[in-house]
Structure 1
Amino acid sequence: MSTTQRAVATTTTWVDDRTGAGKWLKKNLRKVFPDHWSFMLGEIALYSFILCLLTGVYLTLFFNPSMKEVVYNGSYAPLNGIKMTQAYESTLRVSFDVRGGLLVRQVHHWAALLFVAAVSVHMLRVFFTGAFRKPRELNWVIGVGLMTLAILEGFAGYSLPDDLLSGTGLRIAQGIVLAIPLVGSYVSSFLFGGEFPGTDF
Protein backbone atom coordinates (compact mmCIF):
# COMPACT_ATOMS: atom_id res chain seq x y z
CA MET A 1 0.00 0.00 0.00
CA SER A 2 1.46 3.37 -1.03
CA THR A 3 1.70 6.41 1.21
CA THR A 4 -1.19 8.12 -0.59
CA GLN A 5 -3.46 5.09 -0.25
CA ARG A 6 -2.58 4.77 3.43
CA ALA A 7 -3.38 8.47 4.00
CA VAL A 8 -6.73 8.15 2.22
CA ALA A 9 -7.60 5.01 4.22
CA THR A 10 -6.66 6.68 7.52
CA THR A 11 -8.70 9.79 6.70
CA THR A 12 -11.69 7.72 5.59
CA THR A 13 -11.58 5.64 8.79
CA TRP A 14 -11.30 8.80 10.90
CA VAL A 15 -14.35 10.39 9.19
CA ASP A 16 -16.35 7.14 9.41
CA ASP A 17 -15.62 6.73 13.13
CA ARG A 18 -16.99 10.20 13.86
CA THR A 19 -19.93 10.43 11.44
CA GLY A 20 -21.03 6.86 10.75
CA ALA A 21 -21.17 7.67 7.04
CA GLY A 22 -19.95 4.18 6.08
CA LYS A 23 -23.14 2.47 7.31
CA TRP A 24 -25.31 4.99 5.48
CA LEU A 25 -23.31 4.58 2.26
CA LYS A 26 -23.40 0.77 2.42
CA LYS A 27 -27.16 0.83 2.96
CA ASN A 28 -27.88 3.28 0.13
CA LEU A 29 -25.40 1.95 -2.42
CA ARG A 30 -26.92 -1.53 -2.17
CA LYS A 31 -30.43 -0.34 -3.04
CA VAL A 32 -31.87 -1.77 -6.22
CA PHE A 33 -32.59 0.99 -8.74
CA PRO A 34 -35.90 0.52 -10.61
CA ASP A 35 -35.38 -0.39 -14.26
CA HIS A 36 -38.43 1.43 -15.66
CA TRP A 37 -37.51 4.36 -17.93
CA SER A 38 -39.70 6.84 -16.04
CA PHE A 39 -37.37 6.69 -13.04
CA MET A 40 -34.70 8.41 -15.18
CA LEU A 41 -36.74 11.62 -15.43
CA GLY A 42 -35.27 13.00 -12.22
CA GLU A 43 -31.74 12.36 -13.51
CA ILE A 44 -32.56 13.99 -16.85
CA ALA A 45 -33.84 17.03 -14.94
CA LEU A 46 -30.68 17.09 -12.83
CA TYR A 47 -28.29 16.88 -15.79
CA SER A 48 -30.18 19.50 -17.80
CA PHE A 49 -30.18 21.77 -14.72
CA ILE A 50 -26.40 21.40 -14.43
CA LEU A 51 -26.10 22.27 -18.14
CA CYS A 52 -28.30 25.34 -17.57
CA LEU A 53 -26.09 26.44 -14.68
CA LEU A 54 -22.85 26.06 -16.64
CA THR A 55 -24.07 27.75 -19.81
CA GLY A 56 -25.92 30.42 -17.80
CA VAL A 57 -22.75 31.40 -15.95
CA TYR A 58 -20.91 31.63 -19.28
CA LEU A 59 -23.64 33.78 -20.85
CA THR A 60 -23.72 36.04 -17.78
CA LEU A 61 -20.14 37.08 -18.54
CA PHE A 62 -21.27 38.72 -21.80
CA PHE A 63 -24.85 39.84 -21.11
CA ASN A 64 -25.76 43.43 -20.19
CA PRO A 65 -29.34 43.64 -18.79
CA SER A 66 -29.68 47.41 -19.24
CA MET A 67 -32.76 48.96 -20.90
CA LYS A 68 -30.69 51.95 -22.05
CA GLU A 69 -31.05 52.58 -25.79
CA VAL A 70 -27.99 52.27 -28.02
CA VAL A 71 -27.38 52.19 -31.78
CA TYR A 72 -26.34 48.74 -33.00
CA ASN A 73 -23.06 48.54 -34.91
CA GLY A 74 -22.21 44.85 -34.85
CA SER A 75 -21.49 42.07 -37.30
CA TYR A 76 -25.17 41.35 -38.04
CA ALA A 77 -25.53 43.77 -40.98
CA PRO A 78 -29.36 43.94 -41.31
CA LEU A 79 -29.63 45.63 -37.89
CA ASN A 80 -26.73 48.10 -38.22
CA GLY A 81 -27.82 51.62 -37.32
CA ILE A 82 -30.99 50.45 -35.54
CA LYS A 83 -31.80 51.71 -32.02
CA MET A 84 -32.22 48.94 -29.47
CA THR A 85 -31.69 48.28 -25.78
CA GLN A 86 -28.30 47.26 -24.45
CA ALA A 87 -29.86 43.95 -23.38
CA TYR A 88 -30.81 43.07 -26.96
CA GLU A 89 -27.51 44.42 -28.31
CA SER A 90 -25.54 42.23 -25.91
CA THR A 91 -27.67 39.22 -26.92
CA LEU A 92 -26.80 39.86 -30.57
CA ARG A 93 -23.15 40.32 -29.63
CA VAL A 94 -23.11 36.96 -27.83
CA SER A 95 -24.80 35.30 -30.80
CA PHE A 96 -22.67 36.74 -33.61
CA ASP A 97 -19.42 38.11 -32.18
CA VAL A 98 -18.47 35.76 -29.33
CA ARG A 99 -16.82 32.55 -30.52
CA GLY A 100 -19.24 29.71 -29.79
CA GLY A 101 -21.74 32.12 -28.26
CA LEU A 102 -24.70 31.06 -30.38
CA LEU A 103 -23.99 27.40 -29.64
CA VAL A 104 -23.88 28.12 -25.89
CA ARG A 105 -27.14 30.10 -26.13
CA GLN A 106 -28.84 27.23 -27.96
CA VAL A 107 -27.53 24.62 -25.49
CA HIS A 108 -28.82 26.81 -22.64
CA HIS A 109 -32.19 27.21 -24.36
CA TRP A 110 -32.71 23.51 -25.06
CA ALA A 111 -31.40 22.43 -21.66
CA ALA A 112 -33.91 24.78 -20.01
CA LEU A 113 -36.77 23.38 -22.10
CA LEU A 114 -35.69 19.82 -21.31
CA PHE A 115 -35.41 20.68 -17.62
CA VAL A 116 -38.95 22.05 -17.35
CA ALA A 117 -40.34 19.17 -19.44
CA ALA A 118 -38.52 16.52 -17.37
CA VAL A 119 -39.65 18.06 -14.08
CA SER A 120 -43.26 18.30 -15.33
CA VAL A 121 -43.36 14.70 -16.62
CA HIS A 122 -41.65 13.50 -13.42
CA MET A 123 -44.35 15.21 -11.35
CA LEU A 124 -47.06 13.62 -13.52
CA ARG A 125 -45.49 10.19 -12.99
CA VAL A 126 -45.36 10.73 -9.23
CA PHE A 127 -49.01 11.86 -9.22
CA PHE A 128 -50.44 9.08 -11.39
CA THR A 129 -48.49 6.30 -9.67
CA GLY A 130 -49.56 7.58 -6.25
CA ALA A 131 -45.97 8.01 -5.08
CA PHE A 132 -46.94 11.26 -3.32
CA ARG A 133 -48.85 9.46 -0.55
CA LYS A 134 -47.69 9.10 3.03
CA PRO A 135 -44.81 9.10 3.99
CA ARG A 136 -43.72 11.08 0.90
CA GLU A 137 -46.18 13.99 1.00
CA LEU A 138 -43.45 16.45 1.96
CA ASN A 139 -41.46 15.38 -1.12
CA TRP A 140 -44.56 16.12 -3.21
CA VAL A 141 -45.00 19.62 -1.75
CA ILE A 142 -41.31 20.40 -2.30
CA GLY A 143 -41.54 19.02 -5.85
CA VAL A 144 -44.55 21.19 -6.71
CA GLY A 145 -42.70 24.21 -5.31
CA LEU A 146 -39.59 23.40 -7.36
CA MET A 147 -41.65 22.87 -10.52
CA THR A 148 -43.31 26.26 -10.01
CA LEU A 149 -39.90 27.82 -9.44
CA ALA A 150 -38.57 26.15 -12.62
CA ILE A 151 -41.44 27.58 -14.69
CA LEU A 152 -40.92 31.07 -13.22
CA GLU A 153 -37.17 30.86 -13.89
CA GLY A 154 -37.91 29.83 -17.46
CA PHE A 155 -40.14 32.87 -17.85
CA ALA A 156 -37.43 35.10 -16.37
CA GLY A 157 -34.91 33.67 -18.83
CA TYR A 158 -37.21 34.35 -21.78
CA SER A 159 -37.66 37.94 -20.56
CA LEU A 160 -33.95 38.82 -20.45
CA PRO A 161 -33.03 39.37 -24.15
CA ASP A 162 -35.62 42.17 -24.60
CA ASP A 163 -36.75 40.98 -28.01
CA LEU A 164 -40.31 40.68 -29.35
CA LEU A 165 -40.94 37.36 -27.57
CA SER A 166 -39.84 38.68 -24.18
CA GLY A 167 -41.78 41.94 -24.59
CA THR A 168 -44.96 40.05 -25.45
CA GLY A 169 -44.43 37.65 -22.54
CA LEU A 170 -43.94 40.55 -20.13
CA ARG A 171 -47.08 42.27 -21.42
CA ILE A 172 -49.10 39.07 -20.90
CA ALA A 173 -47.64 38.62 -17.39
CA GLN A 174 -48.52 42.21 -16.54
CA GLY A 175 -52.07 41.67 -17.80
CA ILE A 176 -52.42 38.58 -15.60
CA VAL A 177 -51.10 40.47 -12.57
CA LEU A 178 -53.40 43.44 -13.27
CA ALA A 179 -56.37 41.04 -13.34
CA ILE A 180 -55.88 40.20 -9.65
CA PRO A 181 -58.85 41.75 -7.83
CA LEU A 182 -58.20 44.73 -5.51
CA VAL A 183 -54.40 44.52 -5.34
CA GLY A 184 -53.50 43.89 -9.01
CA SER A 185 -52.39 47.43 -9.82
CA TYR A 186 -50.25 47.63 -6.68
CA VAL A 187 -48.60 44.27 -7.34
CA SER A 188 -47.97 45.26 -10.97
CA SER A 189 -46.39 48.54 -9.91
CA PHE A 190 -44.23 46.66 -7.38
CA LEU A 191 -43.10 44.01 -9.89
CA PHE A 192 -42.59 46.21 -12.94
CA GLY A 193 -41.66 49.52 -11.34
CA GLY A 194 -44.33 51.49 -13.21
CA GLU A 195 -47.04 51.06 -15.82
CA PHE A 196 -44.93 48.82 -18.05
CA PRO A 197 -41.24 47.85 -18.11
CA GLY A 198 -39.28 50.78 -19.46
CA THR A 199 -35.95 52.54 -19.08
CA ASP A 200 -36.05 52.78 -15.26
CA PHE A 201 -33.06 50.45 -14.80
Structure 2
Amino acid sequence: MNSTDALAKRPKPPGTSAVVLDQADERFAYAAGLRKQFNKVFPTHWSFMLGEIALYSFIIVLLSGVYLALFFDPSMEEVVYNGPYDPLRGVHMSRAYESALELTFEVRGGLFMRQLHHWSALLFVASMICHMFRVYFTGAFRKPREANWVIGVNLILLGTFAGFTGYSLPDEMLSGSVCASPPVSPCPCPWSAPGCTGRCSVASSWEWRSSRGSTSFTC
Protein backbone atom coordinates (compact mmCIF):
# COMPACT_ATOMS: atom_id res chain seq x y z
CA MET A 1 0.00 0.00 0.00
CA ASN A 2 1.49 3.30 -1.04
CA SER A 3 1.24 6.60 0.79
CA THR A 4 -1.56 7.84 -1.47
CA ASP A 5 -3.87 4.96 -0.51
CA ALA A 6 -3.07 5.50 3.17
CA LEU A 7 -4.02 9.16 2.94
CA ALA A 8 -7.25 8.29 1.10
CA LYS A 9 -8.31 5.83 3.81
CA ARG A 10 -7.47 8.17 6.70
CA PRO A 11 -10.71 9.34 8.40
CA LYS A 12 -11.58 12.95 7.80
CA PRO A 13 -11.70 15.23 10.83
CA PRO A 14 -15.23 16.12 11.96
CA GLY A 15 -16.68 19.37 10.70
CA THR A 16 -17.59 22.37 12.79
CA SER A 17 -21.28 21.45 12.96
CA ALA A 18 -20.47 17.92 14.14
CA VAL A 19 -18.20 19.28 16.87
CA VAL A 20 -20.89 21.70 18.03
CA LEU A 21 -23.54 18.97 18.12
CA ASP A 22 -21.23 16.62 20.03
CA GLN A 23 -20.48 19.33 22.58
CA ALA A 24 -24.18 20.06 23.01
CA ASP A 25 -25.00 16.37 23.40
CA GLU A 26 -22.36 15.99 26.12
CA ARG A 27 -24.02 18.78 28.10
CA PHE A 28 -27.73 18.23 27.43
CA ALA A 29 -27.88 14.54 26.38
CA TYR A 30 -30.60 15.15 23.81
CA ALA A 31 -29.47 12.50 21.30
CA ALA A 32 -30.99 9.60 23.24
CA GLY A 33 -34.38 11.29 23.48
CA LEU A 34 -34.41 12.19 19.79
CA ARG A 35 -33.38 8.67 18.83
CA LYS A 36 -36.22 7.26 20.92
CA GLN A 37 -38.76 9.56 19.25
CA PHE A 38 -37.51 8.77 15.76
CA ASN A 39 -37.65 5.03 16.43
CA LYS A 40 -41.20 5.15 17.84
CA VAL A 41 -43.64 3.13 15.73
CA PHE A 42 -47.05 4.67 15.05
CA PRO A 43 -50.09 2.81 13.70
CA THR A 44 -50.85 3.39 10.03
CA HIS A 45 -54.54 4.19 10.63
CA TRP A 46 -55.76 7.40 9.02
CA SER A 47 -57.21 8.74 12.28
CA PHE A 48 -53.71 9.35 13.61
CA MET A 49 -53.39 12.16 11.06
CA LEU A 50 -56.10 14.25 12.75
CA GLY A 51 -53.58 15.86 15.07
CA GLU A 52 -51.37 16.83 12.13
CA ILE A 53 -54.38 18.25 10.28
CA ALA A 54 -55.20 20.38 13.32
CA LEU A 55 -51.61 21.58 13.53
CA TYR A 56 -51.35 22.53 9.85
CA SER A 57 -54.77 24.22 9.97
CA PHE A 58 -53.67 26.25 12.98
CA ILE A 59 -50.55 27.41 11.14
CA ILE A 60 -52.69 28.57 8.21
CA VAL A 61 -55.13 30.30 10.58
CA LEU A 62 -52.27 32.07 12.34
CA LEU A 63 -50.57 33.29 9.16
CA SER A 64 -53.78 34.35 7.43
CA GLY A 65 -55.02 36.02 10.63
CA VAL A 66 -51.87 38.12 10.84
CA TYR A 67 -52.40 39.19 7.21
CA LEU A 68 -56.07 40.06 7.78
CA ALA A 69 -55.23 42.03 10.92
CA LEU A 70 -53.17 44.41 8.79
CA PHE A 71 -56.33 45.62 7.01
CA PHE A 72 -59.09 45.09 9.59
CA ASP A 73 -60.24 47.95 11.82
CA PRO A 74 -62.21 46.62 14.86
CA SER A 75 -63.90 49.95 15.55
CA MET A 76 -67.64 50.24 16.28
CA GLU A 77 -67.77 53.83 15.03
CA GLU A 78 -70.82 54.28 12.79
CA VAL A 79 -69.98 55.21 9.20
CA VAL A 80 -71.74 55.39 5.83
CA TYR A 81 -70.51 52.86 3.32
CA ASN A 82 -69.43 54.33 -0.03
CA GLY A 83 -67.41 51.42 -1.37
CA PRO A 84 -67.68 49.42 -4.59
CA TYR A 85 -70.31 46.97 -3.30
CA ASP A 86 -73.51 48.54 -4.70
CA PRO A 87 -76.16 46.73 -2.57
CA LEU A 88 -74.74 48.28 0.62
CA ARG A 89 -73.73 51.69 -0.71
CA GLY A 90 -75.14 54.46 1.47
CA VAL A 91 -75.97 52.08 4.34
CA HIS A 92 -75.02 53.02 7.91
CA MET A 93 -72.71 50.41 9.41
CA SER A 94 -69.84 50.02 11.82
CA ARG A 95 -66.28 50.75 10.81
CA ALA A 96 -65.47 47.08 11.53
CA TYR A 97 -67.94 45.87 8.90
CA GLU A 98 -66.81 48.53 6.44
CA SER A 99 -63.19 47.43 6.79
CA ALA A 100 -64.28 43.82 6.25
CA LEU A 101 -65.99 44.87 3.00
CA GLU A 102 -62.93 46.84 1.95
CA LEU A 103 -60.79 43.81 2.63
CA THR A 104 -63.12 41.66 0.53
CA PHE A 105 -63.64 43.89 -2.50
CA GLU A 106 -60.71 46.32 -2.59
CA VAL A 107 -57.66 44.49 -1.26
CA ARG A 108 -56.04 42.24 -3.86
CA GLY A 109 -56.47 38.66 -2.72
CA GLY A 110 -58.47 39.77 0.31
CA LEU A 111 -61.49 37.56 -0.36
CA PHE A 112 -59.23 34.56 -0.89
CA MET A 113 -57.44 35.22 2.41
CA ARG A 114 -60.75 35.61 4.24
CA GLN A 115 -62.04 32.33 2.83
CA LEU A 116 -58.74 30.60 3.54
CA HIS A 117 -58.82 31.84 7.13
CA HIS A 118 -62.49 30.93 7.52
CA TRP A 119 -62.31 27.36 6.26
CA SER A 120 -58.99 26.57 7.90
CA ALA A 121 -60.46 27.76 11.21
CA LEU A 122 -63.44 25.44 10.76
CA LEU A 123 -61.14 22.56 9.84
CA PHE A 124 -58.95 23.35 12.85
CA VAL A 125 -61.78 23.09 15.36
CA ALA A 126 -63.38 20.08 13.65
CA SER A 127 -60.11 18.14 13.48
CA MET A 128 -59.39 18.89 17.15
CA ILE A 129 -62.81 17.58 18.17
CA CYS A 130 -62.44 14.44 16.04
CA HIS A 131 -58.94 13.92 17.41
CA MET A 132 -60.18 14.12 21.00
CA PHE A 133 -62.99 11.67 20.20
CA ARG A 134 -60.41 9.23 18.83
CA VAL A 135 -58.26 9.63 21.94
CA TYR A 136 -61.27 9.08 24.20
CA PHE A 137 -62.77 6.04 22.48
CA THR A 138 -59.40 4.32 22.06
CA GLY A 139 -58.50 4.89 25.71
CA ALA A 140 -55.38 6.85 24.84
CA PHE A 141 -56.12 9.34 27.63
CA ARG A 142 -55.14 6.89 30.37
CA LYS A 143 -51.90 6.95 32.33
CA PRO A 144 -49.27 8.06 31.44
CA ARG A 145 -51.05 10.32 28.92
CA GLU A 146 -53.56 12.03 31.17
CA ALA A 147 -51.61 15.30 31.03
CA ASN A 148 -51.89 15.31 27.23
CA TRP A 149 -55.63 14.76 27.56
CA VAL A 150 -56.10 17.71 29.92
CA ILE A 151 -54.00 19.95 27.69
CA GLY A 152 -55.99 18.87 24.62
CA VAL A 153 -59.35 19.60 26.25
CA ASN A 154 -58.16 23.06 27.25
CA LEU A 155 -56.89 23.68 23.72
CA ILE A 156 -60.30 22.77 22.30
CA LEU A 157 -61.98 25.27 24.63
CA LEU A 158 -59.44 27.93 23.74
CA GLY A 159 -59.81 27.25 20.00
CA THR A 160 -63.60 27.42 20.23
CA PHE A 161 -63.39 30.76 22.04
CA ALA A 162 -60.98 32.07 19.41
CA GLY A 163 -63.42 30.97 16.70
CA PHE A 164 -66.25 32.82 18.47
CA THR A 165 -64.25 36.03 18.57
CA GLY A 166 -63.39 35.61 14.89
CA TYR A 167 -67.05 35.28 13.95
CA SER A 168 -67.96 38.30 16.07
CA LEU A 169 -65.33 40.78 14.90
CA PRO A 170 -66.73 41.73 11.44
CA ASP A 171 -70.02 42.91 13.05
CA GLU A 172 -72.20 41.40 10.32
CA MET A 173 -75.42 39.39 10.42
CA LEU A 174 -73.55 36.21 11.34
CA SER A 175 -71.95 38.00 14.29
CA GLY A 176 -75.36 39.08 15.54
CA SER A 177 -76.74 35.58 15.11
CA VAL A 178 -73.90 34.12 17.17
CA CYS A 179 -74.39 36.67 19.93
CA ALA A 180 -78.18 36.27 19.90
CA SER A 181 -77.83 32.71 21.16
CA PRO A 182 -80.63 31.16 23.25
CA PRO A 183 -80.97 32.91 26.61
CA VAL A 184 -80.57 29.61 28.46
CA SER A 185 -76.92 29.49 27.44
CA PRO A 186 -74.32 31.51 29.35
CA CYS A 187 -73.64 34.92 27.87
CA PRO A 188 -70.37 34.61 25.92
CA CYS A 189 -69.79 38.36 25.81
CA PRO A 190 -70.92 39.95 29.11
CA TRP A 191 -69.06 43.16 28.28
CA SER A 192 -71.55 43.96 25.50
CA ALA A 193 -75.33 44.23 25.73
CA PRO A 194 -77.03 42.73 28.81
CA GLY A 195 -78.09 39.20 28.05
CA CYS A 196 -76.61 39.38 24.57
CA THR A 197 -80.06 40.06 23.13
CA GLY A 198 -79.11 43.21 21.25
CA ARG A 199 -76.19 44.19 19.11
CA CYS A 200 -73.05 42.47 20.27
CA SER A 201 -70.09 44.83 20.09
CA VAL A 202 -67.30 42.34 20.47
CA ALA A 203 -65.13 44.24 18.02
CA SER A 204 -65.01 47.30 20.27
CA SER A 205 -63.76 45.23 23.18
CA TRP A 206 -60.87 44.02 21.03
CA GLU A 207 -60.06 47.45 19.63
CA TRP A 208 -57.62 48.37 22.37
CA ARG A 209 -55.76 45.09 21.93
CA SER A 210 -55.46 45.49 18.18
CA SER A 211 -54.20 49.04 18.60
CA ARG A 212 -51.36 47.62 20.70
CA GLY A 213 -50.25 45.14 18.07
CA SER A 214 -52.17 42.03 19.11
CA THR A 215 -53.35 39.65 16.42
CA SER A 216 -57.08 39.77 15.62
CA PHE A 217 -58.93 36.70 14.43
CA THR A 218 -61.08 37.77 11.50
CA CYS A 219 -63.45 35.41 9.71
**TM-score tier after normalising by the smaller chain length:** 0.7 to 0.9
Tell me the SS of whatever aligns to 1:58. Answer: helix
**Counterparts of 2:81 and 2:182, CA distance in 1:** 28
Q: 1:136 maps to which residue?
A: 145
* 1:171 CA displacement: 2.2
Partner Cα separation in structure 2 for residue 170 and residue 23 of structure 1: 51
The answer to whether the 8 A contact 2:74-2:204 is kept is: no
SS at match of 2:15: helix
Measured in 2, the distance between the counterparts of 1:173 and 1:143 equals 28
- The reply to whether residue 27 of structure 1 matches residue 36 of structure 2 is yes
Distance 1:166 1:105, change over 3 A: same
The separation in 2 between residues aligned to 1:13 and 1:114, in whole angstroms, is 42
Q: Summarize the alignment of residues 1-201 of structure 1 with structure 2, pairs less than 5 Å apart.
A: 6-172=15-181, 176-177=185-186, 191-195=190-194, 196=198, 197-198=200-201
Closer/same/farther in 2, CA of residues 160 and 175 from structure 1, 3 Å limit? farther
- The CA deviation at 1:115 is 0.5
Q: TM-score, normalised by structure 1?
A: 0.86
Counting matched residue pairs gives 190
The whole-number CA distance in structure 1 between the counterparts of 2:25 and 2:204 is 55
Higher relative contact order (CA 8 A, sep 6+): 2
**Same amino acid, percent of matched pairs:** 54
Instruction: Specify every segment of 5 or more residues in structure 1 that has no aligned partner in the other structure, as ranges.
Output: 179-186
- Following superposition, the deviation at residue 174 of structure 1 comes to 6.7
Offset of residue 173 of structure 1: 7.0
Residues 173 and 150 of structure 1, relative CA distance in 2, 3 Å threshold: farther
Residue 108 of structure 2 aligns with an amino acid whose one-letter code is R
Contact 1:132-1:139 within 8 A present in 2 as well: yes
CA distance in 1 between counterparts of 2:49 and 2:69 reads 30
- How far apart in 1 are the matches of 2:144 and 2:42? 19
Shift of 1:175: 6.0
Higher helix share: 1
- CA offsets 1:3-45 (integer angstroms, 9 cap, x no match): xx82222221221111111111111111112211000000000
Gaps spanning 5+ residues in structure 2: where?
1-10, 206-219
Q: Secondary structure at the match of 1:192?
A: coil
Residue type of the partner of 1:158? Y
1:85 CA drift (Å): 0.3
TM-score normalized by the length of structure 2 = 0.79
User: What is the CA-CA distance between 1:149 and the residue it aligns to?
Assistant: 1.2
Partner of 1:183: none
Deviates more, 1:6-15 or 1:117-126: 6-15
- Structure 1: which 4+ aligned runs deviate by more than 4 Å? 198-201
Counterpart residue identity of residue 26, structure 1: R
Hey, what's the Cα distance between the residues in 1 that align with 2:97 and 2:192?
20
Residue 16 of structure 1 aligns to a residue whose secondary structure is helix
